[in-house]
Structure 1
């Protein structure tokens, strides 16, 4: 049994889950998905603030009828406003990242044209159910975020986000005692459902786990860290 520690990347092997590959002549596209309220936007915000001092990054967010997440990231100062764009999907959010990703692919093209040296492009999906996945045409690496407040049964419910994402993030572990969730059960079920694929317990509110997720992304994309440890101050708002 692995000790449950916020910010500890739990995986069966050093190479498990690192299946991302950088698009030829383009940025490494990281898809961030998960149910409403799980912490997708918080993760995007923390990663931007952690990486922005040393890497060329941008963000595309997806919302059904608004650009609320993009506006939040702009207000929080995650990146310069021109590096954040919102896509209004106008329907089921999973359609715009999987069955018909054309609206997102167009946004990717516009962002790359705007920033030719872009290294990492985060694509945050709208809140959706456990069946949501990113089209490989859109994302090189997928991160799926769930949270403890939904109960310790979530990992064993399965679904593509739980079982096939490159990294599963289990957020809000500080709430476990308040909602009666057993992190040991979530650890056991995550191992069973994901096999060799890695997962991570986090408390993004306190930036715990951000450094590990950033390192995971950089390694998967073959992107140099370039003094990443010096950017910890960048996680602060």
Structure 2
């Protein structure tokens, strides 16, 4: 298949505080000598993540741009991707050719996933400080990302987390899909991440990687005065609100 000349667009999602921005800084440090990289950050009302990355000196500051979503973070990466798609395309045009564009989601929950119309592959980031049980809770972000990262493993002794068990739980939740235990202070794990990224880029250029649709948000519960209901975002079915005490049908 013919090689593509468009950059690999890689989404980075995960809950607040899991280290998405520091992960992007680590990726830039590991690959900036070999690849031409750009970054788009997302936040609701601020460009703080972009300013953090610029101050870290990991890239030319002009290659780091911010999108202020003004709404729920996952809306701008999955439901209405216009602002992000324009930002990515502008960055690719201004610094053509780019090899890799990293799109950082605003901090969200375990349902955060990117539209395949925006990105080609996605990372989902958990951290050990969030608790060793988080990985086995599953959800679209954990289950369907191309790579799940268990971040900040150097903190595990201080928060009482068994990293091998957390990784094993994550592998089970992902039906064997790849999981990487990572610390920015651990050169071996950073090297593993670098290898994975370069492999993904090679598949993208060769046209052998197909972006996966991560699907809708998982059904979730909304409380109200009647007790609450389960809400599904599955657009392939009629939306149904099932109230507490009855099985969810959507």
When normalised by structure 2's length, the TM-score is: 0.77
Query: How many equivalent pairs are there?
Result: 203
String of CA shifts for 1:139-176, please: whole Å, max 9, x gaps.
11101110001111001111111111110100111222
Give the greater-gyration-radius structure (CA).
Answer: 2
Where in structure 2 are the equivalents of 1:4-23 lying within 5 Å?
A: none
Judge which range, 27-36 or 189-198, deviates more. Answer: 189-198
Q: Report the alpha carbon displacement of residue 223 of structure 1 after superposing the two structures with TM.
A: 7.2
Q: Secondary structure at the match of 1:170?
A: strand
The aligned counterpart of 2:129 is: 149
Distance 2:95 2:43 in 1: 23
Does 1:55 find its partner at 2:6?
A: no
Structure having greater relative contact order (Cα 8 Å, sep ≥ 6): 1
Cα distance in 2 for partners of 1:24, 1:140 equals 12
Mapped partners of 1:220, 1:167: distance in 2:
10
Cα–Cα, structure 1 residues 25 and 77, in superposed 2: closer, same or farther, change >3 Å?
A: same
> How far apart are 1:25 and its partner, in Å?
3.6
Question: How far did 1:116 drift?
Answer: 1.5
Assess if the C-alpha contact under 8 Å between 1:46 and 1:207 holds in 2.
no
Q: Is the 8 A contact 2:13 2:112 kept in 1?
A: yes
- Per the alignment, residue 34 of structure 1 pairs with 14
Candidates 187, 192, 216, aligned match of 2:196 = 216
Pick closer, same or farther for the CA change 1:86–1:141 going to 2, 3 Å. same
Structure 2 equivalent of residue 202 of structure 1: 182
Q: Pairwise CA RMSD of aligned residues?
A: 1.8
Structure-2 separation of matches of 1:208 and 1:40: 19
> Following TM superposition, by how much is the alpha carbon of 1:212 offset from its aligned partner in structure 2, in angstroms?
1.4
Please state whether the residue corresponding to 2:73 is helix, strand or coil: coil
The 1:88/1:73 distance shift into structure 2, 3 A limit, reads same
Deviations 1:169-189 (A, max 9, x none): 001112222212122321221
Deviations 1:52-85 (A, max 9, x none): 1111111000011000000000001010111110
Give structure 1 regions of 4+ aligned residues with deviation exceeding 6 angstroms.
none
Separation in structure 2 between the aligned mates of residue 108 and residue 184 of structure 1, nearest angstrom: 36
Structure 2 counterpart of 1:66, from 36, 39, 46:
46
Listed as ranges, the gaps of 5+ residues in structure 1 are: 1-21, 225-237
